[in-house]
């Protein structure tokens, strides 16, 4: 059948979107949100909002986040569960920053099975370490963001490789992983992402 008789399912898509810090994930997730008309849920943003609001969880998370460590699986799952219970998620979501390890991956699958909201696809943005380091170094020179400090970027890449890369393996094994080349212009990368999205008959 012709490709044109299939279209991307706007307003109906459950996506896990991952890639290392500095891979352009945030930019692409924002574009995807406008295209698909489903909320972009970032666990980093949810935690930062809790910190800002000074909730008990936020107060606990603040110290851990400032140390550049990962917040406990339990705390993040709690905050994610609350967010996925809101009505705007009924048509889908783009989940960014979760799952970050295999424990979180199992917890997510259990949660989505309970909510009867199976995942459609996991998209991994692939950017070589050298390109990430170069991007962050450039930004660090201009903006002085502490998390762009080359030593911290290297550390985060290690954590990503050790803990998050196995999550990609898992999605590959269940046939739900799409790996997208994240090197190139923003719009070029975005087109590659659109090309891997599941389609329905028009
Ligand atoms: P991000 O904006 O995704 O880089 O997240 C910022 C910080 O929030 C991380 O460095 C962690 O401390 C915390 N965080 C966000 N998502 C998670 C997660 N899934 N598991 C544990 N900690 C997380």
Check whether domain 10-41+90-201 has CATH 3.40.50.300, yes or no: yes
Checking if the pLDDT of 4 tops 80, the result is no
Checking if the pLDDT of 40 tops 90, the result is yes
159 lines ligand 1 (CB under 6 A): no
Burial 45-78 (b: 16+ CB within 10 A, else e): ebbeebbeeeeebbeebbeebeeeeebebebbbe
Per-residue pLDDT, averaged over 131-158, amounts to: 87
Residue nearest to atom 1 of ligand 1 (CA): 44
In this structure, are strands 121-126 and 40-42 parallel, antiparallel, or unpaired?
Answer: unpaired
104 lines ligand 1 (CB under 6 A): yes
Instruction: Pick from 43, 107, 108, 147 the residue to mutate for probing ligand 1's pocket: most ligand atoms within 8 Å of its CB.
Output: 43
Ligand 1 midpoint to CA 42 (Å): 9
pLDDT value of position 146: 73
Ligand 1 midpoint to CA 136 (Å): 18
Q: What is the pTM of this model?
A: 0.90
In this structure, are strands 40-42 and 92-96 parallel, antiparallel, or unpaired?
Answer: parallel
Query: Tens of pLDDT along 92-135?
Result: 999 999 999 999 999 999 999 998 889 999 999 999 999 999 98
pLDDT value of position 7: 81
Ligand 1 midpoint to CA 70 (Å): 6
In this structure, are strands 199-201 and 6-8 parallel, antiparallel, or unpaired?
Answer: antiparallel
Query: Tens of pLDDT along 167-186?
Result: 999 999 999 999 999 999 99
Between residues 6 and 36, which one has the greater pLDDT? 36
SS (H, E, C) 37-48: CCCEEEHHHHHH
- The half-sphere exposure of 130 on its side-chain side, counting CA atoms within 13 A, is 0
């Amino acid at each position: 059948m012709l490709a044109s008789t299939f279209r991307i399912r706007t307003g109906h898509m459950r996506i896990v979107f991952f890639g290392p810090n500095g891979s352009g994930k945030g930019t692409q997730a924002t574009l995807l949100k406008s295209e698909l008309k489903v909320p972009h849920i970032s666990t980093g943003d949810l935690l930062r909002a809790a910190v800002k609001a000074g909730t008990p969880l936020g107060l606990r998370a603040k110290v851990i986040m400032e140390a550049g460590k990962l917040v406990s699986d339990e705390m993040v799952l709690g905050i994610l569960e609350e967010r996925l219970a809101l009505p705007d998620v009924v048509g889908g979501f783009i989940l960014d920053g979760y799952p970050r390890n295999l424990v979180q991956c199992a917890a997510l699958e259990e949660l989505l099975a309970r909510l009867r909201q199976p995942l459609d696809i996991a998209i991994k943005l692939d950017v070589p370490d050298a390109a990430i380091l170069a991007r962050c170094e450039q930004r660090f020179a201009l903006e002085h963001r502490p998390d762009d400090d080359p030593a911290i970027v290297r550390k985060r890449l290690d954590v990503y490789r050790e803990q998050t890369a196995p999550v990609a393996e898992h999605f590959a094994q269940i046939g739900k992983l799409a790996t997208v080349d994240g090197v190139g212009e923003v719009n070029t990368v975005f087109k590659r992402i659109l090309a891997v999205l599941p389609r329905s008959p028009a």
